[in-house]
Amino acid sequence: MYGALWRVLPGPWWLRLLILLVVIAGILWLCVYVIFPYIQPYVSPPPPETVSTNKS
Amino acid sequence: MAMTDDGSGVGSLRPRGARARRRVSVVGVLGEILITAGVFVLLFLGWQLWLQDILVGGVQQGQAQKLGQAWQNDAIPQKQPTNVAPIVAPIVEKAPANAQRFAILYVPRWGKTWQRPIAQGVGVADVLDAIGVGHYPGTQMPGQVGNFAIAAHRHAYGGGFEYLHQLHVGDSVYVGTKDGWYQYTFRDIQYVQPTEVNVLQPVPMQPGVTPTDRIITMTTCNPFFSTAERMIAYGLFDRFYPEAGGPPDAIAAAVKKG
């Protein structure tokens, strides 16, 4: 998978590395600001943080 | 012609059989997918346990600072050193609408510029996750005789009260509103069950008693990473600094005008 990706990328090795680093940075940004906040409630649902009232 | 000599092209002298076999290996691809999934899970953990609080905490800090600066810019500037300002009765506002930011919490023990917005209500999704610190509806307002009770996450979603256990007796805790700054002095910490609602009484733990003191109560989860118990920090009202006189020295760096 990654071997094939490396062969598909154009240019000399340093350009491929640069492209990969940019792509990885983009994926990380997407994870931190979009994907992780979205899946967080499903992975670890936040419990009621406050002291609960008598009626609930 | 498009293929230049980059060491990996057709001109390579390495045995082609080994390369070709590695390229089509199903197990190899499956392994790479699994490793990728593992890295993703590790990244998520690192984000949830550590990075998120830094990022979200920074956002909440910025929101609080903007709010404080807006109040400061609205006020009429009046040169009056705070340390000789006469002691005045605190202004008590009416309770605002749910999820409305009406105050800022300053805790110098947690950093010279540490501040978080306080909004009305303790809804998990609309206040505690989204804004930071929530004010228990039905408890008193800043400066009012009784109990100004607030809650925040210990961890995740900004972790507002992560360091609640690090307060020292005598530490000042400030609540800023558009009227001025209310100084409270931290007194003690109590550990209770999540069902112990009496910590929110006007006189904490003494239901039905008429209050004479102005108290701040800060509640959060305990132990860290868990929600089994609640940690309750109490403080006593010290004095009120009106907006016109400028902020007290201890939080001047946090409040500074924009």
- pLDDT of B157 > 90? The answer is no
Q: What is the mean pLDDT of chain B?
A: 84
Task: Round to whole Å and give the CA distance between B100 and B121.
Answer: 8
Enter the tokens of residue B98: 């749910």
| Structural domain total, chain A | 1
Q: Give the C-alpha separation, B232 to B204, whole Å.
A: 10
Residue of B nearest to A46 (CA): B124
Tell me how far apart the alpha carbons of residues B60 and B232 are, in angstroms, rounded to a whole number.
22
Tens digits of residue pLDDT in A3-55? 888 888 888 999 999 999 999 999 999 999 999 989 888 887 665 556 654 33
Contacts of A28 in chain B (CB under 8 A): 43
Count the neighbouring beta carbons within 10 Å of the beta carbon of residue B227.
17
pLDDT, one tens digit per residue, over B178-193 is 989 999 999 999 999 8
The Cα of A18 is separated from the nearest Cα of chain B by a number of Å equal to: 15
Q: Quick check: A52 contacting B, CB < 8 Å?
A: yes
Q: How far is B76 from B204, CA to CA, in rounded Å? A: 37
**Least CB–CB distance from A36: residue in B44, B124, B153:** B44
B156, A13: Cβ pair inside 8 Å?
A: no
Mean pLDDT of B90-113: 91
Q: Is residue A24 part of a domain?
A: yes
Min distance A22 CA to chain B CA atoms (Å) = 17
Q: pLDDT band at B104, cuts 50/70/90? A: very high
Least confident of B10-14, B93-97, B122-126, B196-200: B10-14
Cβ atoms B151, B51 nearer than 8 A: no
How high is the pLDDT of residue A29? 95
Average pLDDT over every residue of B117-138: 90
Give the domains, in start order, of chain B with CATH numbers.
Answer: 52-255 (2.40.260.10)
- What integer pLDDT is reported at residue B89 of this predicted model? 80
Name the minimum distance, in Å, from the CA of A30 to any CA of chain B.
12
For chain B, the residues whose C-beta falls within 8 A of a C-beta of chain A are: 4, 6-8, 22-23, 28-29, 32-33, 40, 43-44, 47-48, 51-52, 55, 122, 124, 128-129, 134, 136, 151-154, 156-157, 192, 194-197, 199-200, 219-221, 227, 230
Token digits of residue B255: 């409040």
Instruction: Flag if A31 and B47 touch (Cβ within 8 Å).
Output: yes
How many contacts, defined by CB atoms under 8 Å, are there between A and B? 78
Better-predicted residue by pLDDT, B163 or B87: B163
pTM: 0.79
Residues of A whose CB is below 8 A from B23: 3-4
Domain that holds residue A22: 12-39
Q: What's the confidence (pLDDT) of residue A31?
A: 93
Q: Tell me if A53 is assigned to some domain.
A: no
- How many whole angstroms separate alpha carbon B104 and alpha carbon B116? 6
List, for residues B208-225, the tens digit of each pLDDT value: 899 999 999 999 988 888
Asked if residue B134 lies in contact with residue B141, where contact means CB atoms within 8 angstroms, the answer is no
Specify if A6 maps to a domain: no
Residue A17 maps to a domain: yes
Does residue A54 lie in a domain region?
A: no
* Spatial distance between the Cα atoms of B118 and B137, rounded to a whole number of angstroms: 12
User: Which residue reads 């360091």 in tokens?
Assistant: B163
DSSP helix/strand/coil, B99 = coil
DSSP for B160-199, please give it: TTTTGGGPPTT-EEEEE-SSEEEEEEEEEEEEE-TT-GGG
Catalytic residue ranges of B: 153, 221, 230
Helix, coil or strand: residue A13: helix
Is the ipTM higher than 0.85? The answer is: no
Contacts of B152 in chain A (CB under 8 A): 49
CB-based contact B227 A47, cutoff 8 Å: yes
Question: Beta partners for B176?
Answer: B104, B181
Percent of chain B with pLDDT over 70: 85
